[in-house]
């Protein structure tokens, strides 16, 4: 088992032993309290508590002896993506930013906001960050460090393999790690975080080489973080209505594009089939 | 840092390493899935995720190489005390027991029900004087209780509780160490003693996260959620009945006293 914290108590003990001052630890405590409100009841597809993942990310950053604002930002890095602010609107908004600023201060909020803006979803986006790393300013470099710590935390204990419900999915995850692992390592090295680079390399290697039985994987349809509402509670009705309406609207907007995509896919399949038939 | 699991992933890795069978893993997975539902949003007074605590307890039981049903019971040991079944009631009611029995089988449920009915003084007295006379269920339940205590002590979790509670856990763990030694588990006794020693010598690294002076675990409700009307009604009804009962008892007591004086 790795030595990174998974609970707040472990994190506080770690911060003390790493030599962070009492004032620094106080900021982390305040941020953790805020994280409790935003991420309560949230789980990763692997069944791991989301707040444990956040603590893990902060712990990795603390082990690198980054400044305390970065550790605190690591604790709420997904605030704008998954945080429950009690509204229907997804993503970042000025009202949400104000709430975060009031709770944890401007510096931490700025990092969280930059983290949210950092494009990391597609293959090309990650490649772009990798290629233009030298152009990043000092704060953006630290924000990238949070992103890398987040990636490592997902891989620790084979966490990402536990998200997959079949062997095929596990293999695709392993292929992903084989292709992206070296890029992440290279980014960590160029940021001067050599221990992080080593840890990512080890974790990627473990993920790529382990065959995990599907048996212990939690049964859920969710692909991303999801809320398990405490049984005595339910989602507010107006929020459910708003979310459904938004989803429906977005579906309608995307429908023509989806139809076009389907047609081109069928055309492609026919073309390849005819070509093969011609060769035979 | 200790090597006990704090997340389900760490627990499953541990079980795989310790060569628990696929059937065992499935049972523990079912228990964890139920724990996710029952303890969602619940936090310890230290601010620690409640699920991390139950996983830690199960991890200690797995470290003792106890059978999978005991490990699964460790994951839900406090289900009747702190679990949210959505019925607005407390304790081991018939419907709650049925639900756990249907999900995990009667053996696991028996451990959990026995755990919720534990009375420290009585059980400890029995275990201290006649450790060989304990039934297999009693022995397993006691080990779950001691694992729970150890989990509270490691990482100095109890230091974030109020002084009486913390003192209670430490004192109980000292007695627990003595009993587990008699039960033939010297390594567990050593771990308990170490945890007690370290906790007594440690100082709090921070003041406890905001639980507003509460000593028990609390549920933090997601902001986008609200209480179900039916649950609220049942809770209020139970509260009203309890209050009326108390008032009634007080009135009877008073009347009894007055009658006594008149007779005198």
**Does B2 have pLDDT greater than 60?**
no
Q: What is the pLDDT of residue A219?
A: 85
Which is more confident, A192 or A270? A192
Residue A210 CA: distances (Å) to CA of A162, A205, A206: 11, 9, 6
B155 with A10: Cβ contact below 8 A: yes
**Does A258 have pLDDT greater than 80?**
no
Residue B96 CA: distances (Å) to CA of A190, A193, B40, B102: 56, 51, 17, 10
Categorize the per-residue pLDDT at A273 as very low, low, confident or very high, splitting at 50, 70 and 90: confident
Which residues from B are below 8 Å from A158, CB to CB? 9, 13
Interface test with B, best of A3, A15, A228, A233 (most B CBs within 10 A): A233
Distance (Å, whole) CA A81 – CA A69: 19
A47 with B9: Cβ contact below 8 A: yes
**Does B192 have pLDDT greater than 70?**
yes
Which is more confident, A251 or B134? B134
Q: What is the pLDDT of residue A164?
A: 83
Angle between helices A167-190 and A194-209 (to 10 degrees): 160
Is residue B8 within 8 Å of A163, Cβ to Cβ?
no
Q: What is the pLDDT of residue B206?
A: 67
Q: What average pLDDT score do residues B200-225 get? A: 75
A18 → chain B, closest CA residue: B205
Instruction: Point out the residue among A12, A218, A234 whose CB comes nearest to the CB of B29.
Output: A218
Instruction: Point out the residue among A48, A218, A232 whose CB comes nearest to the CB of B88.
Output: A232
**Does B202 have pLDDT greater than 70?**
yes
Task: Give the rounded percent of residues in chain B with a pLDDT score beyond 70.
Answer: 95
Q: What average pLDDT score do residues A120-140 get? A: 89
Instruction: Point out the residue among A42, A159, A233 whose CB comes nearest to the CB of B9.
Output: A159
Tell me which residue has tokens 């003595």: B178
How far apart are the CA of B132 and the nearest CA of chain A, in angstroms? 36
Task: Give the rounded percent of residues in chain B with a pLDDT score beyond 90.
Answer: 72
Instruction: Point out the residue among B1, B46, B223 whose CB comes nearest to the CB of A84.
Output: B223
- Whether B28 and chain A come into contact, CB under 8 Å, resolves to yes
Residue B24 CA: distances (Å) to CA of B18, B69, B70, B198: 11, 8, 11, 34
Categorize the per-residue pLDDT at A265 as very low, low, confident or very high, splitting at 50, 70 and 90: confident
Q: What is the pLDDT of residue B216?
A: 82
Q: Residues 223 to 252 of A: which have CB under 8 A from any B CB?
A: 227-236, 239
Is residue B225 within 8 Å of A232, Cβ to Cβ?
no
Task: Give the rounded percent of residues in chain A with a pLDDT score beyond 90.
Answer: 62
Categorize the per-residue pLDDT at B187 as very low, low, confident or very high, splitting at 50, 70 and 90: very high
- Whether B236 and chain A come into contact, CB under 8 Å, resolves to no
Q: What is the pLDDT of residue B1?
A: 47
Categorize the per-residue pLDDT at B121 as very low, low, confident or very high, splitting at 50, 70 and 90: confident
Interface test with B, best of A21, A216, A218 (most B CBs within 10 A): A216
Backbone angles phi, psi at A54, to 5 degrees: -65, -40
Instruction: Point out the residue among B29, B209, B219 whose CB comes nearest to the CB of A29.
Output: B209
How far apart are the CA of A178 and the nearest CA of chain B, in angstroms? 22
Is residue A82 within 8 Å of A111, Cβ to Cβ?
no
Q: What is the mean pLDDT of chain B?
A: 90
Which is more confident, A212 or B79? B79
Q: What is the pLDDT of residue A173?
A: 86
Angle between helices B163-182 and B186-201 (to 10 degrees): 160
């Amino acid at each position: 088992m790795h030595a990174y914290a998974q609970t707040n108590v472990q994190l506080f003990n770690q911060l003390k032993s790493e030599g962070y001052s009492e004032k620094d630890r106080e900021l982390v405590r305040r941020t953790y309290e805020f994280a409790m409100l935003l991420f309560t009841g949230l789980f990763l597809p692997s069944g791991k508590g989301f707040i444990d993942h956040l603590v893990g990310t902060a712990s990795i950053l603390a082990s690198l002896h980054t400044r305390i604002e970065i550790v605190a930002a690591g604790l709420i890095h997904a605030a704008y993506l998954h945080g429950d602010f009690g509204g229907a609107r997804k993503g970042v908004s000025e009202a949400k930013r104000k709430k975060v600023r009031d709770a944890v201060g401007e510096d931490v909020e700025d990092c969280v906001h930059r983290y949210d803006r950092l494009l990391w979803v597609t293959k090309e986006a990650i490649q772009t960050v990798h290629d233009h790393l030298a152009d990043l300013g000092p704060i953006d470099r630290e924000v990238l460090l949070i992103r890398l710590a987040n990636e490592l935390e997902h891989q620790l204990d084979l966490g990402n393999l536990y998200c997959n419900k079949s062997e095929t999915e596990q293999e695709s995850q392993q292929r992903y790690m084989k292709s992206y692992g070296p890029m992440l390592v290279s980014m960590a090295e160029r940021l001067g975080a050599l221990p992080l680079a080593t840890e990512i390399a080890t974790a990627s290697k473990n993920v790529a080489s382990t065959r995990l039985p599907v048996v212990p994987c939690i049964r859920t349809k969710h692909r991303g973080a999801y809320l398990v509402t405490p049984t005595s509670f339910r989602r507010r009705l107006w929020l459910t209505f708003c979310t459904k309406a938004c989803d429906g609207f977005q579906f309608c907007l995307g429908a023509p594009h989806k139809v076009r995509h389907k047609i081109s896919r069928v055309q492609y399949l026919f073309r390849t089939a005819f070509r093969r038939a011609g060769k035979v | 840092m200790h090597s006990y699991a704090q997340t389900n992933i760490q627990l499953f890795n541990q079980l795989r390493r310790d060569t628990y069978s696929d059937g065992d893993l499935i049972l523990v997975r079912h228990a964890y899935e139920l724990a996710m539902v029952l303890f969602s949003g619940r936090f310890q007074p230290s601010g620690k995720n409640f699920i991390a605590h139950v996983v830690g307890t199960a991890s200690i039981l797995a470290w003792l190489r106890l059978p999978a049903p005991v490990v699964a019971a460790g994951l839900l040991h406090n289900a009747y005390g702190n679990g949210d079944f959505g019925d607005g009631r407390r304790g081991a009611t018939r419907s709650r027991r049925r639900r756990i029995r249907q999900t995990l089988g009667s053996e696991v449920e028996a451990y959990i029900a026995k755990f919720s009915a534990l009375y420290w003084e009585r059980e400890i007295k029995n275990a201290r004087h006649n450790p060989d006379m304990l039934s297999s269920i009693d022995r397993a339940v006691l080990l779950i209780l001691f694992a729970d205590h150890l989990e509270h002590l490691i990482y100095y979790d109890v230091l974030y509780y109020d002084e009486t509670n913390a003192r209670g856990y430490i004192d109980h763990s000292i007695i627990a160490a003595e009993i587990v030694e008699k039960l033939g588990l010297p390594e567990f006794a050593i771990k308990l003693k170490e945890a007690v020693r370290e906790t007594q010598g440690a100082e709090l690294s921070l003041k406890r996260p905001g639980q507003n002076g509460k000593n028990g675990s609390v549920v933090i409700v997601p902001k986008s959620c609200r209480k179900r009307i039916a649950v609220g009604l049942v809770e209020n009804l139970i509260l009203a009945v309890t209050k009326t009962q108390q008032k009634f008892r007080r009135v009877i007591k008073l009347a009894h006293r007055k009658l006594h004086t008149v007779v005198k």
